[in-house]
Amino acid sequence: MMGHRSPWWLTFKQAKDLGGFVRKGEYSMPITYWNFVEAEDRETGKPKSIPFLKHFNVFNAEQVDGIDAKIPDLPTPRETKPNEEAQALVANMPNRPGIVYGAFPIACYSPSEDTVKMTKAELCVSDERFNEVLLHELVHSTGHSSRLNREKEMGGWHAFGSKEYSREELVAEMGAAFLCSFCGISQATIDDSASYIDGWVKHLKGDAKLVVQAAGKAEKAAKYILNQSF
């Protein structure tokens, strides 16, 4: 939801039709709607599906005044128990990126902002998952040009699903698994990481060479975060 609490999005015209207006200075988000229409094939006379795309610029309901768009209640925050080893590890990471904690539905690392956007611990399903995801995103941050510069090796940050993206996900999750082990984080989280890694390995069609290379980069990333020499 791009940092917004509301899951509702609408175009400028839709907001106007509802009697509302987009606040001055607000920026829209581009979205793509795709679907298929049924048509008759001119050569065979048989029905066929034709794909189409439509592009829209939309605003979040929080950017619009004058409409009644109820924001869903957030999950009830749970009690948390910080992992002291993980806290110290994050606090002592050299040249650490910015970290913003909020009600983000999905954690992410933004290379352009050099910032990790992290769901608050009390909104995560467990303390272990919070720490594992945070460490995953911090490993991503080590690829920044000011750190280990994996983005140069990749030729930049690539689109979801590409081979380069898959390799970087392997690096991040392997590095997070190393760091979770260092912090004594539960076996269940490590088992989940193994399943996640296996999924990306299959995406790379089991290329053992890429897996070994990713493991080496993950070790470097983990050592960087731990401020250990290579």
- Output the pLDDT for position 1: 58
CA atoms within 13 A on the CB side of 226: 18
Q: How many residues does the chain have?
A: 230
Q: pLDDT value at position 191?
A: 67
Mean pLDDT by 10 residues, the chain (230 residues): 81 95 94 89 88 93 91 78 94 97 89 94 91 96 94 65 77 92 77 68 71 90 89
Q: What is the pLDDT of residue 230?
A: 57
- pLDDT value of position 186: 74
Alpha-carbon distance of 192 to 214, in angstroms, equals 18
What is the residue type of 152?
K
Per-residue burial over 13-30, b = 16 or more CB atoms within 10 Å of its CB, e = otherwise: eebeeeebebeeeeeeee
Domains of the chain: which residue ranges?
9-65, 84-226
CA pair distance 148, 220, nearest whole angstrom: 8
In SS3 terms, 67-134 reads as: CCCCCCCCCCCCCCCCCHHHHHHHHCCCCCCEEEEECCCCCEEECCCCEEEEECHHHCCCHHHHHHHH
**Global pTM?**
0.67
